[in-house]
Amino acid sequence: MIKATLKQIRKNIGIFILKSPFLIGLINYLYENGSHQLRDFFVRQIKPAGPPKSNFYWFLYLSNGSKLEVPVTAGDLKTWQFAQSYKWNEIGIRKIEEFLNDNLPMNEIFCDIGANLGLRSLYSLSIDRKTFLFEPNVSLRYFTEVLFEQNDLTNYRIENVCLGNEEGNILFYISESSYLSSIVQEYAQIDGVVEKVQIPITKLDSYQANYIPNQKIGLIKIDVEGYEKEVLLGAENVLSKHQPCIIVEIQDNNKEELFDFLENYINLYEVFLIKDSYPYSYKINDSTKTLPKVGNYLFLPRNKLINFIFKKKFFSTFYDS
């Protein structure tokens, strides 16, 4: 009874805040510029309020000084979650991608594979790095394009195509929240499959050769819910020739298989498990038994590590002292 009452009180507070432009602005500023503890409290307490009842704008404050405006839409929970996620969710990935974007040559491309609404592409675009977003769920495209246009983020290309290890068409399962959508049905079913669609599929190697043959891919993010190995198998030429930094979410049931595949590149890469607290990652050894069931990993090219070794912030971030 008490828990139910407190939940209703939190819900009413959340609804009240989301109705007031002044309170939204105040909370927005404190949320973006305050501590993670404050953000965590806010997300967990306001979330029961559900989708916003009216349209408003939420401002994201990036570490490079950029301020981006996110259109939050009445009745659309995804846009509200998107607005909160940049500073709250996957802190380690955010810190690492910011550092890599700031230190990689600007003529190297970022490929966001499994881009969803484009959250992980915001920082690269804020510094005008050429960015390719690969997202099979075409229904997400409108929000992303509006967001980018509104913030004058122009150096991008959205491809509503799946990347894997084959060419042609393939069945894609769209989950209820969209975040667990996948070629692998079992992952989408965790969230509830709402639609099955045929989508085009190609290899990153083919795409790079056909559309950006004279440009180097320097950073790849992969979040494809159980389809990671297929994406990497279709990118073997890019891996060997370009040696990009790779940020990838790896699921437990294909972890060992994927690590076995990547052993072919062991002389090219150092492997790190990404954490959400400083130093944000640590180098892993040959054993994967103690690694989390679902984890985010950084595959860092050895040649880039040598160049970054003198940047103390980067070096301390990736090595426990």
The whole-chain average pLDDT of the chain stands at 85
**How far does the chain reach from its first CA to its final CA, in angstroms?**
49
- The answer to whether residues 166 and 185 touch, using CB atoms and an 8 Å cutoff, is no
Q: Compute the distance between CA of residue 104 and CA of residue 314 in angstroms, rounded to an integer.
A: 12
Helix orientation angle between 21-33 and 77-88, rounded to the nearest 10 degrees: 30
% of the chain surpassing 90 pLDDT:
53
Q: Residues 215-233: what's their mean pLDDT? A: 93
Question: Which class does domain 91-318 fall in?
Answer: alpha beta
Question: Which residues have C-beta within 8 Å of that of residue 205, sequence separation ≥ 6?
Answer: 234, 235, 236, 237, 238
Task: Collapse the DSSP code of 280 into the 3-class scheme (helix H, G, I; strand E, B; otherwise coil) and give the result.
Answer: coil
> Is pLDDT at 27 greater than 80 in this prediction?
yes
Residue 45: its pLDDT value, please? 76
**Residues facing 283 on adjacent strands:** 272
> Is pLDDT at 2 greater than 50 in this prediction?
yes
Q: Compute the distance between CA of residue 273 and CA of residue 318 in angstroms, rounded to an integer.
A: 9
For residue range 55-70, what is the model confidence (pLDDT) as tens digits? Answer: 999 999 999 999 999 9
Secondary structure E strands in the chain: 56-61, 67-72, 108-113, 131-134, 156-159, 162-163, 168-175, 193-202, 216-222, 245-250, 269-274, 281-283, 295-301
For residue range 242-293, what is the model confidence (pLDDT) as tens digits? Answer: 999 999 998 776 777 777 777 676 678 888 888 888 777 777 765 554 677 7
Task: Collapse the DSSP code of 105 into the 3-class scheme (helix H, G, I; strand E, B; otherwise coil) and give the result.
Answer: coil
> Is pLDDT at 76 greater than 60 in this prediction?
yes
pTM of this prediction exceeds 0.75:
yes
Residue ranges of the chain that CATH labels 3.40.50.150: 91-318
User: Six-digit token pair at 297?
Assistant: 């990993």
HSE on the CB side for 7, CA within 13 Å?
Answer: 6
For residue 320, name the pLDDT band (cuts at 50, 70, 90): very low
Cis preceding linkage at 279, omega within 30: yes
